[in-house]
């Protein structure tokens, strides 16, 4: 129980961030709620937005947790395989399962992310409940269901989120999720998760492509997903930000607890725009 609570009152743990430097708590949950507090949402919409942000934080933690579990299992298998004969190999069920859930939770996070627009634009205008066509349907819906007043906000999201760079990693992980979870394109065979030692003594681990281990691709996906969620939430709230406030973005290392987005005054944004190159401003 929290000692600051009155006698008889209990404390409820809503979210415990286990990531290094609590980056989900600091950069996603707390910063997003701080930005939203300077918007013009009605109480009911504000409450719904808060619930979605908390849920997304929990989703992100799940993705990160399964990445950690995959890496732990992979390290243990690599150590074991170092002493195996060249004729022995293992199609790891543990690695298969962890990648399966990692990919599913990544897509689930994206599906929940698009629902952020519901309290922002209104239930009558935003009816999407999934990250359709690897994001293409999301952008099309934004362009179709927003007024000319919000054209600038939509262009910001298109530039930051719906670009070719993001399409590459989004397509890769969503297609992999479809294979391993839905059996699309022939599915993802368990042989893909082979661990073995060759005749030269080298240990082989599951590969994403000929040049990259699966665990390395999962790290890249996690980092991209985190930044995508961080950007999407704040840019969505920007639709409803009060006119006296603005946002500035500075790319931060993923290990930093400092958010990439900073809430500031509109005057400060104008000054920032004058002194920074276009890729650094918002």
C-alpha to C-alpha distance for 214 and 109, rounded to whole angstroms? 20
Q: Considering Cα of 156, then 161, then 162, then 163, what sign does the dihedral take?
A: positive
Bigger pLDDT: 279 or 180?
180
Region 211-220: mean pLDDT is 97
* pLDDT score, position 1: 37
Residue spans of the domains in the chain: they are 25-241
* pLDDT score, position 14: 78
> Residues of the chain with pLDDT > 90: what percent?
79
* pLDDT score, position 249: 94
* pLDDT score, position 276: 55
Region 99-125: mean pLDDT is 96
Average pLDDT score, the chain: 90
Res. 68: pLDDT tops 70 = yes
Res. 277: pLDDT tops 80 = no
* pLDDT score, position 186: 62
Per-residue pLDDT band at 2 (split at 50, 70, 90): very low
Region 159-181: mean pLDDT is 92
């Amino acid at each position: 129980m929290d000692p600051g609570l009155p006698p008889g009152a209990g404390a409820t743990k809503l979210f415990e961030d286990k990531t290094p430097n609590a980056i989900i708590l600091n950069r996603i949950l707390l910063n997003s709620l701080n930005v939203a507090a300077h918007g013009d949402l009605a109480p009911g919409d504000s409450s719904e937005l808060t619930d979605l942000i908390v849920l997304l934080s929990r989703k992100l933690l799940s993705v990160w947790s399964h990445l950690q579990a995959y890496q732990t299992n992979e390290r243990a298998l690599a150590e074991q395989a170092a002493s195996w004969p060249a004729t022995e190999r293992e199609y790891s069920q543990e690695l298969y399962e962890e990648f399966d859930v990692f990919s599913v939770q990544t897509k689930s996070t994206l599906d929940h992310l698009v629902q952020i627009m519901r309290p922002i634009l209104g239930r009558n205008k935003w009816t999407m409940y999934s990250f359709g066509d690897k994001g293409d349907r999301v952008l099309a819906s934004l362009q179709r269901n927003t007024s000319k007043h919000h054209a600038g906000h939509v262009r910001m999201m298109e530039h930051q989120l719906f670009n070719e760079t993001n399409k590459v990693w989004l397509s890769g992980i969503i297609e992999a999720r479809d294979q391993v979870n839905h059996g699309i394109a022939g599915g993802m065979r368990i042989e893909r998760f082979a661990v073995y030692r060759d005749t030269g003594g080298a240990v082989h681990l599951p590969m994403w492509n000929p040049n990259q281990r699966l665990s390395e691709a999962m790290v890249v996906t996690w980092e991209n997903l985190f930044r995508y969620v961080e950007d999407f939430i704040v840019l969505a709230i920007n639709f409803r930000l009060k006119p006296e406030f603005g946002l500035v973005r500075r790319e931060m290392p993923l290990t930093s607890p400092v958010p990439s987005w900073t809430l500031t005054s509109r005057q400060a944004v104008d000054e920032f725009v004058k002194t920074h190159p276009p890729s650094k401003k918002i």
